[in-house]
Amino acid sequence: MVRPAEPDRDCPRCPRLVEFRESWRAKKPDWQNAPVPSFGEPSARLLIVGLAPGLHGANRTGRPFTGDYAGDLLYQTLIDFGFARGTYAARPDDGLELVDARITNAVRCVPPENKPTGPEITACRPFLVATMAEMPNLAAIVALGRIAHDTLMGTLGWKKSAHPFGHGAVHAGPNGSAAVFDSYHCSRYNTNTGVLTPAMFRAVFAKVRAHLDGPPRPR
């Protein structure tokens, strides 16, 4: 049986997230308030994995990293490195397009205080597995934050002890599988405190770009 890559709008897997989702549907009926689907084409070579939708960002707009500060930094960086085109205007109808890239979250529903539990991450993992399985050209994965990294290690079946999280770290996949690139999450908290600077974030995507483009060809 082929597993779906996206949960149903009323996915019942995580009772706490269902309760939180329903409470916000009552407060804001015009918001997404449902699992946020991946953004980008399955044919992409790059997959970016975040933690979960932000309450006032993707949970409101229905597109990953759209409507909060993290999206400002992420999408401008993607544009700068040729992974997106158009103008990011923090809304899903801004016309922005991803180029050879796809964005998803380890947990598809918004969690209270932006903190999913371990069981919730595990319950949502089949959707990440299915998302990756439908990407035949997948060659690079960017993990935004330690939890996204750890979730990827479990999804890929890699030992965390052999592949510890570290900003700027690159973990080569066995047998030519996709490489994992680690970055601190591009949240406002991390950028405001200096944990992550735009230059640090750009350096990660410079590595990704070089990995996908390969060594320069001799003239």
Q: What is the pLDDT along the chain (219 residues), one digit of tens a residue?
A: 456 899 999 999 999 999 999 999 999 999 999 999 999 999 999 999 999 999 999 999 999 999 999 999 999 999 999 999 999 999 999 999 999 999 999 999 999 999 999 999 999 999 999 999 999 999 999 999 999 999 999 999 999 999 999 999 999 987 778 999 999 999 999 999 999 999 999 999 999 999 999 876 555
Give the pTM: 0.95
Closest by CA position to 180, among listed 38, 48, 39? 48
> What does the buried/exposed string (b/e) look like for 139-159 if buried means 16 or more CB atoms within 10 Å of the residue's CB?
bbbbbbbbbbbbbbbbbbebe
Domains, the chain, in order of start with CATH, read 32-212 (3.40.470.10)
pLDDT of residue 219: 57
How far from the centroid of its chain's Cα atoms is residue 92's Cα?
16
The residue written with tokens 């510890």 in the block is: 164
